[in-house]
Structure 1
Amino acid sequence: MNFPGCAAERRANGTMIHLRETELNSSSNLDYRTLFLFLEEWSLTPSGTNTKMFLISPVVCLMAGVLIIPTMLFVIFSRIKIRQETRYMLLGNALLSDLVYLLFYTVSAALNAAHLHLPKEACVLLLFLLAVAYCGGLFTAVAIVLDTYIAVLFPLHYIAILPPPRTKKIIVLLWMCSGAFPGIFFLVLWSTHSFVPCVLETCSVPVILILTLNGTGAVKLCFWLSATVIILCMSVIFCCYAILYFKTKHSGIWESICSRASVTFLMHNTVLFFYFFPLLALFVESFLCVNAVIRLQTGILVSLTVCNVLTILPKVLFPFLYGLRYREISASLKYLVRRKQLRPASPAPPPS
């Protein structure tokens, strides 16, 4: 679906692309409509840059995720002993969120690489599902850290604090928060008419993020509230890990660099670093681009790199660096592989 007004605007302003680029790269007071027209022209006719190259990472990560994540989910939910433990239920929830995000983001990136425009309603739905899946993974990451915190510092009361029925309610609450948090923002933007039809026609996450800080007050408010929530999540995770380290540094589990505790701690922090660093990079890039510290074209390339590479990468690293650290998960996967390899072949029919 194409919006006639947007198409007419593109044709009327097609010859002004170089003037707009010069103006946008030299001024910090950006006109929102002019900014969008430049971004759309750049996405359709990028100068010296093949944006389709950025599709490689989402496709490769989706293929890797489809190979490992459903198998791990099958292991978790098919074994009663495993699926009754809090840590495995949270792990399964995080894997499910990551798989959904990989699927929808790859679809979005493929549509934009093919220059296929979605209807406005379909674009809003796709963006909402992406936000829900990402929030689900983010909130579950915080829940996993809190679960580790309680298990290490309160081992005798762990079962009483987090029994399986309560964990299931927590997971439902996480999904409700994951839907309510972006849902409120979308309702605010919709009620204040802050959704620009041309922007929704493009429906590119990197482009929309570039436009965010140049939008209306409601858009900027949603952006900074999102940043605040992410910073709060990072603070909770950092405080939990810092307290765990100082509480257990005299227990002897950190004496060897190669000890299981040290390696697990390193793996957890590596995954969380990959989760949060892209968001920080995106915030810094958006701020620099809006204040004309960097060129707009550079800002778009940074946004594409962050969204299509850095944000996608932890989704596929999480099962390998985090999930396989659990002995029960790795042992079950090895058992499935051996069972498949040792499956007897059907005997050949006797010669006639």
Structure 2
Amino acid sequence: MSERAETVAQDTARRDTPHLAVPHGVPGHPHTDVPPPLDASSTETAPLDVVVVTGLSGAGKNSAGRVLEDLGWFVVDNLPPALLLPMVELGARGDVRRFAAVVDVRSRAFSSDLQEAIRVLAEAGHRPRVVYVHARDEVLVRRYESNRREHPLQGSGTLIDGITAERALLTGIAGEADLWVDTSDLNVHQLRATLENAFAREGKTPPLTATVLSFGFKYGLPLDADLVVDARFLPNPHWLPHLRPHTGQDPDVRDYVLGQDHARPFLDRYTDVLRLLIPGYRREGKRYLTLAVGCTGGKHRSVAIAEEFARRLRADGVDTAVQHRDLGRE
């Protein structure tokens, strides 16, 4: 369990006041409502790993913040962008080495201010990363209606008006995000696994983490994919009665898919493409790569091909996770 302490800024309205979430057991942070004192003898601040969690209201930003808190990050919820650098420097003077802030439209002056705050953080020597959490419109509408809540930008309009306005407001920061997390089809456990794969590294972030995601085209393209591969050029096991009930994780289906004439050459050549791209991504500072593999229903071909791509990436030393978005939907 974590304690919450309220930090009040004179020029910040009460609804924008951040609440500190102190991870349990962090040295130097007793369970008290008083923030840790500054070291008056030092004006130097050590660089921190900083994660800014932002995105669409209702998409799961607060859930993402709780996951980071459980992983040992010092988390501040509802932090105005203008207070980002002061809070990071406050933590750097104490015992905090991994700092995360949840920032959203509740902070009013938002998009351009947040981009500027992140730029200033980087110039100050810290290591800011942006996690952008989003979901499809129909999913957000369903979540809001089930909770009987109004969207913060809805005003006198409809719920979808508020969602549309927020998407427009977030365009700039979304394009600069280091990691996109689409929660449309994720439960809380899958969201936790996604963030743990990216951040649970005992404070050491790998040069690049890959996620290979299978999906069905009939359910829509994954919005957070960096690369999309179409496996529909291979024969569909769905039309074979003895394979139809099984999935691409079953040996019989996997052997059928990978045993097709063009499967191995395709895998070999696309693996060569990945071997060309990944060093370039690393040089450019990209830390997360999502490779999406699609077939018609996301049950047979895409699953088998995704598992094989993941096996090859791991063999090349790339830290890789596999997710099957639409497995079980048929």
- Shorter chain as normaliser: what TM range? under 0.3
Q: Structure with the greater relative contact order (CA < 8 A, sep ≥ 6): 1 or 2? A: 1
Larger radius of gyration between Structure 1 and Structure 2: 1
Q: Could you state the TM-score of these two structures normalised by the residue count of structure 2?
A: 0.27
Q: Could you state the TM-score of these two structures normalised by the residue count of structure 1?
A: 0.25
Q: Which has the higher helix share?
A: 1
